[in-house]
Amino acid sequence: MTMTNQKPFIAGNWKLFLTSSEAVELVSTLQEINHEFEEAQMVVIPPFTALCDVHITLQGSSIQIGGQNVYWEEQGAYTGEISALMLKDVGCTYVIIGHSERRQYFGETNATVKKRIKAALSHDLTPIFCIGESLEEREKGETIHKVQTQISEGLEGFNEDTVQKIIIAYEPIWAIGTGLTATPEQAQEVHGFIRNELSEKYGNETGSCAIILYGGSVKPANTFSLLKEKDINGALVGGASLKAESFIEIAKEAIKAYKEK
């Protein structure tokens, strides 16, 4: 199965923000004006505690839901963890895996990323697999090497069919929550590399159909120029997805950019 990228893919990662009632209020607003961004694939990724209520609020909507992380065991004595089965149960179709904040603060490694991706896929959850370099790595000219290693270790042993079910999000760590965005050229360079790498390792179809998102200080003002780039298929938005107004503007800018591609 390959995914299509006819529509821009806009996902809002709400991180450790919003209570359940705040999350419901936000998705209710999005839902009301859903028709304004029908031409984008919209996904909201609330904290675990809000998933159930958000799912109920979004019944029948085209806006989809994701989890922010997943443990690789389905059930057991793993206090504090959430499994793919549980995410499915509350309506998730996507899950973020290997976000740099998980890597930085919670000891996530490429090896654990791989286990989580496998667990997600075994329950038909689409992984949004995050990769990206730190400022120090960029300054030392190690960006491509870093991203290449994350791909080869995170996807180690996977075949073409499996890789075709995975969305990749390139999120340069230095651009996350800092207000610094990669320029469209900087982002395109890495996205182009990722697509080529996927083509080389998993065949042309895998590379050409891959959905590759950009994340890191995406806001309405920079969405158009980023999404116009050939290999950028959407955005993984943090801060600007917490307000309906800016999230909707981002979707509209993305749709505009896609029309002009």
Residues lying near ligand 13P in the complex (CB under 6 A) are found at: 13, 99, 171, 176-177, 215-218, 236-240
Residue 46 Cβ vs ligand 13P, minimum distance, rounded to whole Å: 13
Rank residues 68 and 164 by Cβ distance to ligand 13P and give the closer one.
68
Which DSSP string do the residues of 64-132 spell out, in sequence order?
EEEES--BSSSSSS-TT--BHHHHHHTTEEEEEES-HHHHHHS---HHHHHHHHHHHHHTTPEEEEEE-
d(CA 166, CA 178): 27
Closest CA to 176 of 103, 67, 71: 103
Query: In 10 A of CB 196, how many CB atoms?
Result: 12
Residue 131 Cβ vs ligand 13P, minimum distance, rounded to whole Å: 12
17-21 long-range CB contacts below 8 Å, 24 or more apart? Answer: 17/47, 17/242, 18/46, 18/47, 18/50, 18/242, 19/49, 19/50, 20/49, 20/50, 20/52, 20/53, 20/54, 21/53
99 flagged as catalytic = yes
Closest CA to 190 of 230, 220, 160, 156: 230
Residue 217 Cβ vs ligand 13P, minimum distance, rounded to whole Å: 4
Rank residues 63 and 176 by Cβ distance to ligand 13P and give the closer one.
176
Q: In angstroms, how far is the first alpha carbon of the chain from the final one?
A: 24
Distances from the Cα of 133 to the Cα of 38, 58, 147, 235, angstroms: 33, 35, 7, 17
156 flagged as catalytic = no
Rank residues 129 and 202 by Cβ distance to ligand 13P and give the closer one.
129
Per-residue exposure over 138-147, b if at least 16 CB sit within 10 Å of its own CB, e if not: beeeebeebb
Position closest to ligand 13P via CB: 238
Residue 237 Cβ vs ligand 13P, minimum distance, rounded to whole Å: 5
Residue 28 Cβ vs ligand 13P, minimum distance, rounded to whole Å: 22
Residue 220 Cβ vs ligand 13P, minimum distance, rounded to whole Å: 12
101, 171, 197, 253: the active-site residue: 171
Residues with a catalytic annotation lie at 99, 171
